[in-house]
Structures are given as C-alpha cells and as structure tokens.
Amino acid sequence: MKRAFSAMIVAWLIVLQMPLLAQTWEMEKSDETFTAPQGKSIDIVIDIDVGEVVLEPADSPNEIRVEMRYTEDEFKKDIRFDERRNHLKIQLDSKKWKKWRSYNTNDDAQAKVIISLPYDVEIFLTVKISAGDIDLELGGLTIKEFDFTNFAGEVRVAFSEPNKIVMDMLDISVKVGESNFISLGNARFKRADINSGIGETEVDFSGKLVQGSRAKVDLDIGEVTVILPENFGVRAHIGGGLSFLSSKNIDYGLRKRGSAYINDVYQSDETALLVKITPGLGELNVHME
C-alpha cells in the first residue's frame, strides 16, 4: 500500500495536464517586502489555488518577503497589507476553474510562491492551498496559531527548530495525497487537531513538547504512521471511527493501561502529551522514537 495512493494522484494529475504541456506560457514575476511592527502580532492569510508553495523563516526579525512566479493569463495575484489592523493577505487565484489541469510539479510549473516569514513577530498564520507541491518550514518562528488546509498534492510541514512561544492551536487538515508532518513537538502547541483524508501520512510528534499538551489525529483512508516521543510522557487512546477496519501496529514501548496506552516515562496527564488517534480504513503504525 505504501505510496500507492500518492502515485495514483500524481499520475492522474499528469494525465490531466498533458494537453497544456505543448503550450508556451508567459510568466509574470513579482517580489514584494513588507515590514511588520515589532511588539505587535500580525495576521497572515495565504490563499493559493494551485502551484508550488514554499514557506520559510526569513533572515529578518520583522520583514516578510513574498516572491511569485506565475502564468499571467491563468492567475490573478492579490496582495494586501492593512497596516492599521496588521493584517496581510496573500492570494493567487486561478482565473479559470482549471486547478486540476494547471497543477504541474516540474520546473515549468505555472505558479510558484515563496514566502519568507519574520522570526521575531508574533504570527497568527492561516494557509489554504487547493492543490500543489507544498513545503512549509516553520521552525524558529513566533507562531501563536497555525491553521493549514490542503485539498490535494504533496505536503511537508516541519518545525525543525522550536517555536519561540507556546502555540495555542495547531490545526491541520489534508484531503488527498502524501503528507509529512515533521517535529510537531517543536511547534510547542497546547492543542493540535490533525485530519488526514486519503493517502499516505506521517505525523511526527518529536521535539520540545509542552507539558499537558493535547492532540487529536483523525484518519480516513490510507497508510498512516504516528511517531510518539519515548523521552516525554505519552498517554494515547487509539480507537473509534473505522478502527475495526484498520490494521494496527503499535510499538512495544507503549503498554496498555485501562483503555489507553502509556510509555515508560509517563507520570501524569498534567505533564504528558495526551493524544487521541482515530484510525481509518487502511494501516496504522504507531512508533516510539
């Protein structure tokens, strides 16, 4: 089953875009920089129809840089910064309802967006991408809330370094494709809600977790791997949903206590990660690392 769903989606998208490959595209380029006031929080809303999207930490403590390269005839750019409200909206819309056919993962992709985020400004971050190749590196930033939605494509969300503040809410929803969520413990979330639709998914909770953090992982169809920390207290509930239709492989480092699983360093709910995993149709692997 491994990578089967992702391969199917990629193949389908390639077939749908083939009539477009012979065309010559005129590309539009833009590069804009905004300064966020330090000492205040900023709302950043990113809404992209389709394409390659990269988020990364900036070298600047308070500058936001937005680089875009897109097919002028097919897309409409709309970037607005409301300085009074400290609200930045970054939007790239398909002019025609052709999201599935416009998606292209090679070097001639019709849309590519690179956004560099400041590391010393508190951010309320909302990202919605309909389809594409998505790479979000959010380590070392100052994110208060993070809301991410993707409908189709290949997704990587990583916190390679700890978030500078405790995050109130981490909300991730993906529908179709291959998804990797790396070092989510470094997000330092109080609450996390992760929903996976159809495809292959890895959810890695390693990193500097906050004591008493809570997470829900809801799964629909596919192969899912959940990685839990072995050096941080964990109490996991696994069941509900389509659990009876799923194949489960649970690490020997988790032992059953009542209706839950705990690891060797678990002491109390107040100091542990409490995670509820609702399996779907497919295979669930729970590992300790």
In a domain, 114, yes or no: yes
Domain-located, residue 180: yes
* Burial class of residue 6 (count of CB atoms within 10 Å of its CB; 0-12, 13-18, 19+): buried
Beta carbons of 246 and 282 less than 8 angstroms apart: yes
Residue 284 inside a domain? The answer is no
Confidence of residue 248 (pLDDT cuts 50, 70, 90): confident
Q: What is the mean pLDDT of residues 251-275?
A: 93
Q: Give the count of domains, the chain.
A: 1
Q: Give pLDDT tens digits for 135-164.
A: 999 999 999 999 999 999 999 999 999 999
Of residues 64 and 16, the one with the higher pLDDT is 64
List phi, psi (to 5°) of 7.
-65, -40
Residue 240 lies in a domain: no
- Burial of 100-116, coded b for 16+ CB within 10 Å and e otherwise, reads ebbbbbeeebbbbbbbb
The amino acid at residue 114 is I
Whole-angstrom distance, CA of residue 4 vs CA of residue 279: 18
For the chain, give the mean pLDDT.
87
Structure tokens at 23: 């065309």
Instruction: Give the pLDDT score at 188.
Output: 98
pLDDT for residue 72: 82
3-state DSSP call for residue 139?
coil
Domain range for 148 is 4-210
Q: Is residue 195 part of a domain?
A: yes
- What proportion of the chain, given as a percentage, has pLDDT over 70? 85
| 83 located within any domain | yes
Report the pLDDT averaged over residues 40-46. Answer: 97
Contact 234, 262 (CB under 8 A): yes
CB 181 within 8 A of CB 194: yes
Q: Kindly report the backbone phi and psi dihedral angles of residue 242, in degrees, each rounded to the nearest multiple of 5, phi listed first.
A: -100, 35
Whole-number Å distance between alpha carbons of 157 and 86: 25
- pLDDT digits 0-9 by tens, 201-245: 999 999 999 999 999 999 889 899 999 999 999 999 998 766 666
Q: Examine residue 89 and state whether it is found in any structural domain, yes or no.
A: yes
Average pLDDT on 105-111 reads 56
Is position 219 within any domain?
Answer: no
pLDDT of residue 240: 74
Q: Which residue has the tokens 């509900």?
A: 240
